[in-house]
Amino acid sequence: MGALLGILLLALSLRAAVVSVPPLLARIQNDIQFTEFTIGLLATLAPIVFAVFGLLTPRLIRGFGLERTLMLSIALAIVGQVARIFMPEVYSFLGMSIVALAGYGVGNVVLPPLVKKYFPDRIGTVTSGYVTMLAIGTWMAPQFSVPLANATDWQISIGSWAVLSTIVLIPWLLQLIADRNVDRPDQPLNAAGAAHPLVKINPWKSKVAWGLAIFLAGNSAQTYVYFTWLPPYLQARGLDELTSGNMLALFAILGLPVSLLVPLWVPRLKNPIIAVLVFTVFWVTGHLGIYLSPTNGTAFWVAMAGLGQGTFAIALLMMNLRSRTTYGSGVLSGFAQGLGYAGAGIVPMLFGVVQKATDSWGVAFSMLGICVVVMLIGAVIINPPRTIEDTAPGAEDAGKLERIN
């Protein structure tokens, strides 16, 4: 029970550092001088830091063990969130934001292997729960940041989310105390309780790892474009600020129902690409509608795109469905999220550059079509029932490995 609560609370906290600041930028600028460049830098920090620490986290898991790596991630998140409210100028503020995001980047990667370790027979159900908590956290932080700032100030508002990260520590500390066999990093146990060496996995040589990274990049790029550009685009086409903001909130909250559905449905499919194609139809319908008719039926088109976010839930689920061991899940999660976020992170910036250079929203929107194609290429690669362990030395014995205890 402690592990389940810890997983759900961790998922709830993972987006706070990312989405709690933008609604308060106007207030923050009264004390810290942000420019257009540093605002743009702030917007790109999350995918860049998530990419770097996505690639580093499997090494941390291998060296320190899963739970200890998790505790490190929470500590970084707390320190970064608290320290940045005391920073006197923009670059020190951004530096502490990087520390907080590093913690959350590690947390992103450890979630799938934690599910595989503690709930190997309930992967779909628990994944449904934590992806839902991710969606709630993404909505909750921006929703309450402004009221908290109104009641106190912006420092307390953005710093208060460190309290949530601190609460995450409680169930994991209890779990560490209760579990005497926790996580000896380099010595997973077999069914007889004997230690055997950990099989090294090279994700750079794995079709599964590359496919999932490509799939995640294509999916996340679309989401980041919406979070960055949907309100400015709708305002440029004639909608007011309040309506444009409400449309972004609608897009964000629709990640919730699909987060509940996907992990319960997709594991039953022989070919997961069927689910990908269903959600791709939602994405494409939303993209076309928002571009061709931005002021008529706007909520419907945004809702279509919002439901397309089911592809993100599929990506998280596949990190466990395309691995056989806890260690394999961690390697796959780190590689896919590292390269996936790196690829996705540059697209919102390119979207703006292309729009400004061509003075055409149509050319910019064509980039979303490219993202859809990239996502589908990745989906084709990860559709066959193979795992990342298939490329490891002694892969024929990989299925005999037990999860890391």
Of 153-162, 305-314, 377-386, 388-397, the least confident? 388-397
Collect all residues with Cβ–Cβ distance below 8 Å to 240 and sequence separation of at least 6: none
Mean pLDDT score, 146-155: 89
Shared domain check, 372 and 245: yes
Range of the domain at 145: 1-185
**Quick one: pLDDT at residue 312?**
92
Above 80 in pLDDT, residue 210? yes
In total, how many domains does the chain have? 2
Shared domain check, 175 and 89: yes
CA atoms within 13 A on the CB side of 287: 23
Number of H helices, E strands in the chain: 18, 0
**pLDDT band of 193, cuts 50, 70, 90:** very low
Above 80 in pLDDT, residue 91? yes
For residue 48, the SS3 value is helix
Last residue of a domain, one of 133, 164, 185: 185
Last residue of a domain, one of 158, 185, 212: 185
Above 50 in pLDDT, residue 189? no
Q: Distance between CA atoms of 310 and 258, rounded to whole angstroms?
A: 5
Shared domain check, 156 and 295: no
Shared domain check, 287 and 172: no
Shared domain check, 331 and 271: yes
What rounded mean pLDDT belongs to the chain? 86
- DSSP class of residue 405 equals -
Task: Report which of residues 79 and 348 the model is more confident about.
Answer: 79
The CATH code of the domain that includes 138 is: 1.20.1250.20
Above 90 in pLDDT, residue 17? no
Shared domain check, 131 and 201: no
Shared domain check, 216 and 158: no
**pLDDT band of 89, cuts 50, 70, 90:** very high
Shared domain check, 196 and 228: yes
Shared domain check, 247 and 177: no
Shared domain check, 160 and 259: no
Residue 395 burial by Cβ neighbours in a 10 Å radius (0-12, 13-18, 19+): middle
Above 80 in pLDDT, residue 404? no
Last residue of a domain, one of 185, 219, 246: 185
Shared domain check, 256 and 394: yes
Task: Report which of residues 240 and 75 the model is more confident about.
Answer: 75
Quick one: the chain helix, strand, coil %, rounded to 5?
A: 80, 0, 20
Share of the chain above pLDDT 70, in %: 91
Mean pLDDT score, 135-145: 80
**Quick one: pLDDT at residue 400?**
47
Mean pLDDT score, 73-90: 94
Cα distances (Å, whole numbers) of residue 273 to 36, 81, 148, 212, 268: 40, 39, 43, 12, 12
Shared domain check, 158 and 239: no
Above 90 in pLDDT, residue 175? no
Of 25-39, 324-338, 358-372, the least confident? 25-39
Mean pLDDT score, 364-388: 95
Share of the chain above pLDDT 90, in %: 50
Of 2-6, 24-28, 324-328, the least confident? 24-28
Of 14-28, 192-206, 306-320, the least confident? 192-206
Of 15-19, 200-204, 206-210, 213-217, the least confident? 15-19
For residue 195, the SS3 value is strand
Q: Distance between CA atoms of 53 and 110, rounded to whole angstroms?
A: 11
